[in-house]
A and B are shown apart, each in its own frame.
Chain A
Amino acid sequence: MARTTSDIAVKPAIEASGVGKRFGPTRALHNISFSVEEGEIFGFIGPDGAGKSTLFRIITTLIAPDEGKIDVLGNDTVKDFRELRKVIGYMPGRFSLYQDLTVEENLSFYATVFGATIRENYELIRDIYSHIEPFKKRLAGKLSGGMKQKLALSCALIHKPRLLVLDEPTTGVDAVSRAEFWEMLKKLKQHGITIIASTPYMDEAMQCHRVALIQEGKILSVDTPEKIRAGFSRKLFSIRAPEKFRLITALKTFPETLSAYPFGDSVHVTFLNDTPVDSLADRLKKEGVNGAEIVETTPGIEDRFLELMEKPGEG
């Protein structure tokens, strides 16, 4: 409340510098630095074990970093954790709902705990909560994945937080609900809530204003999805054949193949620059792969991510 608008414009919502965290021998996070602007939807994309949850737990004051520090909304996550716990909305990896409480009981419990009421912040969650309100007398444990996700989001929002931290909010949820979910998050922008979300699905990067690619505790790249995609440095070919697995194995035997990843019903391949693509179909046939269709294609963000993950350190 005490902040002025100019403050908001100047200070980033999250500022991490040199953050490191170990669990025994495992280096969960290593020299992480980034900053998130206020009102942004910021995504952390990375595979299982990349360190996303650990990072979010540091941001939400749940664990202290071994090295470096993170300022969230102008507060240090270690020193000022009491302050921060009033203004953060957190949705942990597993939806943190009480399975034996009804939808409504869950929501009003979280409201009370944060010193809010459902009525006073109903406006904020209406778009989301209205989907599940018809089932408000149902036990949370009996909800579908998509409904649980919406309830958990409502619970995380019910006290009108300034920062919303969503750890893998779309994991274990059907594709329709996933798309719906990102639409809801975008609508929250009008309330000026900063959102950070993690996901293992690379295609979801497009839903964020900016994304950070994180792997083995290191950030490989931070940028807008567009710019990340534009960073793709090579020619990309999409190859389709009836036997996809055989196709990949064959491609990998060629010395000029740089990368070959399954992508939907085709395989995305890059080669050393001077590869004669015309002769490729014949060579594949020799390897026992028949009917290969080869076309050049525009790289998507996933292609760039895969490229980045191949040679960490670049980018």
Chain B
Amino acid sequence: MKRFLGFVKKEFIHIFRDFRTLIILFGIPVVQILLFGFVVSTEIKDAGIAFLDLSKDEISRKVIHKTVSSGFFSYSGELTSFREVDRIMKEGKAKAVVIFEPQFGEKFFREKSAAVSIIADGSEPNTATLITHYLTAIIQNYNQELTGSPAEEIVPVKAEVSMFYNPELKSHFMFVPGVITLILILICALMTSVTITREKEFGTMEVLLVSPLKPIQIILGKVTPYFLLSFINVILILLLSWLVFGLPVKGSVALLLAESMLYILMALSLGILISTVSKTMQQAIFISLVGLLLPTILLSGFIFPIENMHPVYHWVSSILPPRYFITIIKNIMIKGTGLGFVWKETLILAGMTLLFMLFSIRNFKTRLE
């Protein structure tokens, strides 16, 4: 145990003394999330929003006024009938329409329950989710103002969201799962394979091998710091996207973290596997980037939807572990589904992890050759 801790301490020193490692570990995830998030948020700045007020009472007017003056959207006008909803959205003049039901105000006071519908243009899902997000927040605020009670207790105004063209909500907030998937591959596979091959290149591996350390101890010592740091990274990314862009995890956070751990383990064993087949850091970097990162970006549904791919790529994509993780995390984060919906992917991922672990431990030699 003391040996193991000594080894882990050494690895942490390597990590914290190397500026480049720190940048990859913490700089890249933060910058990516902020950058993507910024691009997505600026899109809604110019998003037009229209209103169909079937009630036209004091309360509905106030909600409209609040929304328009919030500064998040540009005002595209008021509609008079449902037919216009279709038209204004097809023309692209509005990205979302807020509809107040008849007798909105009356219901609000008498029944303590009134509803608005938000119809959003789902063909630009990221914009749509953001708009509904902001709108819901504004309405909730107004609720509080009116009733003077904390939000949870009475929620007279309910927002019902429907997506116009994209009812399944294929959100462009996909970038958060995408970034997590990529970052973990980068940290776990690339960084561990590089740190192990570095010991080979500098000749320190020779001495480690001529020590009472068993291969499994060397592997665990190498991998533990990266496991911890990757996990912290996932939490950091989730916090960032929640605090800065208001993107919550819809499903269970615990499940999400557990799935992330599984994926981290998978990526770490891949990293070890790569290190066992490469002699130099260059080789390890090349294999990680070209063999792992690139296919992950291109084929696991991060940029291009898997459904639209040529069957060959489809097939290739199905042997890429990140693809399953991205499905899992998308489901939990954005759709809010539970393990029941992702158990198949989880099982595949677990199987792959086990396989890679076995291979990498078997491949990690007790001798030099």
Interfacial residues, chain A to chain B (CB-CB below 8 A)? 57, 60-64, 81-82, 85-86, 88, 90-101, 105, 108-110, 112-115, 155-156
Q: How far is the CA of A163 from the CA of B204 in the complex (A)?
A: 19
Q: How far is the CA of A99 from the CA of B10 in the complex (A)?
A: 12
B137 interfacial contact with A, CB 8 Å: no
Give the residues in chain B near A86, CB-CB below 8 Å: 212
B3 interfacial contact with A, CB 8 Å: yes
Interface residues on B, range: 20 to 34
Contact (A62, B203) CB under 8 Å given A100-B14, A100-B17, A109-B10: no
Interfacial residues, chain B to chain A (CB-CB below 8 A)? 2-3, 5-7, 9-10, 13-14, 17-18, 202-204, 206-213, 366-369
28 contacts between A and B (CB under 8 A): A57-B368, A60-B210, A61-B209, A62-B209, A62-B368, A63-B367, A63-B368, A63-B369, A64-B367, A81-B367, A90-B210, A91-B207, A92-B206, A93-B203, A94-B202, A98-B10, A98-B202, A99-B202, A100-B13, A100-B18, A101-B13, A108-B6, A109-B6, A110-B211, A112-B2, A113-B208, A113-B211, A115-B3
Give the residues in chain A near B14, CB-CB below 8 Å: 98, 100-101
Of B2, B10, B203, B204, the residue contacting A105 (CB under 8 A) is B10
Among the interface residues B10, B18, B369, which one has the most CB atoms of the partner chain A within 10 A? B10
Q: How far is the CA of A114 from the CA of B206 in the complex (A)?
A: 14
Of B2, B5, B367, B369, the residue contacting A61 (CB under 8 A) is B367
Contact (A96, B202) CB under 8 Å given A61-B210, A114-B211: yes
- Interface contact A92-B2, CB-CB below 8 Å: no
Of A60, A64, A90, A113, the residue contacting B3 (CB under 8 A) is A113
Give the residues in chain A near B3, CB-CB below 8 Å: 112-113, 115
Q: How far is the CA of A114 from the CA of B209 in the complex (A)?
A: 11
Give the residues in chain A near B10, CB-CB below 8 Å: 98, 101, 105, 109
Among the interface residues B14, B202, B213, which one has the most CB atoms of the partner chain A within 10 A? B202
Q: How far is the CA of A125 from the CA of B268 in the complex (A)?
A: 38
Give the residues in chain A near B212, CB-CB below 8 Å: 82, 85-86, 113-115
Closest residue on chain A to residue B204 by CB atoms: A96
Closest residue on chain A to residue B10 by CB atoms: A109
Closest residue on chain A to residue B211 by CB atoms: A113
Closest beta carbon of chain B to A123's beta carbon, Å = 21
Give the residues in chain A near B7, CB-CB below 8 Å: 109, 112-113
Give the residues in chain B near A155, CB-CB below 8 Å: 207
Give the residues in chain A near B6, CB-CB below 8 Å: 108-109, 112-113
Closest beta carbon of chain B to A102's beta carbon, Å = 9
Q: 7 closest Cβ contacts across the A-B interface?
A: A112-B6, A94-B203, A96-B207, A90-B210, A96-B204, A62-B368, A92-B206
Q: How far is the CA of A97 from the CA of B7 in the complex (A)?
A: 14
Closest residue on chain A to residue B213 by CB atoms: A113
- Interface contact B210-A62, CB-CB below 8 Å: yes
Give the residues in chain A near B13, CB-CB below 8 Å: 100-101, 105
Closest beta carbon of chain A to B224's beta carbon, Å = 15
Give the residues in chain B near A108, CB-CB below 8 Å: 6
For the A-B complex with A63-B368, A91-B207, A105-B10 known, give 20 more contacts whose Cβ atoms are closer than 8 Å: A61-B367, A62-B206, A85-B210, A85-B212, A90-B210, A92-B203, A94-B202, A96-B206, A96-B207, A98-B10, A100-B14, A100-B18, A109-B10, A110-B211, A112-B2, A112-B7, A113-B208, A113-B213, A114-B211, A115-B2
Q: How far is the CA of A155 from the CA of B17 in the complex (A)?
A: 21
Q: How far is the CA of A58 from the CA of B7 in the complex (A)?
A: 26
Q: How far is the CA of A212 from the CA of B186 in the complex (A)?
A: 50
Give the residues in chain B near A90, CB-CB below 8 Å: 206-207, 210
Q: How far is the CA of A284 from the CA of B183 in the complex (A)?
A: 75
Closest beta carbon of chain B to A118's beta carbon, Å = 12
Closest beta carbon of chain B to A198's beta carbon, Å = 14
Closest residue on chain B to residue A108 by CB atoms: B6
Q: How far is the CA of A227 from the CA of B213 in the complex (A)?
A: 42
Closest beta carbon of chain A to B13's beta carbon, Å = 6
Among the interface residues A62, A88, A101, A110, which one has the most CB atoms of the partner chain B within 10 A? A62
Give the residues in chain A near B207, CB-CB below 8 Å: 90-92, 96, 110, 155-156
Closest residue on chain B to residue A87 by CB atoms: B212
Closest beta carbon of chain A to B19's beta carbon, Å = 11
Closest beta carbon of chain A to B5's beta carbon, Å = 8
Q: How far is the CA of A101 from the CA of B7 in the complex (A)?
A: 12
Closest beta carbon of chain B to A77's beta carbon, Å = 10
Among the interface residues B5, B210, B213, which one has the most CB atoms of the partner chain A within 10 A? B210
- Interface contact A97-B211, CB-CB below 8 Å: no
Closest beta carbon of chain B to A69's beta carbon, Å = 15
Closest beta carbon of chain A to B89's beta carbon, Å = 58
Give the residues in chain A near B211, CB-CB below 8 Å: 85, 110, 113-114
Q: How far is the CA of A109 from the CA of B199 in the complex (A)?
A: 14
Closest beta carbon of chain B to A158's beta carbon, Å = 11
Q: How far is the CA of A263 from the CA of B202 in the complex (A)?
A: 35
Closest beta carbon of chain B to A65's beta carbon, Å = 11
Closest beta carbon of chain B to A96's beta carbon, Å = 4
Closest beta carbon of chain B to A73's beta carbon, Å = 14
Closest beta carbon of chain A to B162's beta carbon, Å = 57
Closest beta carbon of chain B to A133's beta carbon, Å = 20
Q: How far is the CA of A81 from the CA of B369 in the complex (A)?
A: 15
Closest beta carbon of chain A to B292's beta carbon, Å = 26
Give the residues in chain A near B213, CB-CB below 8 Å: 113
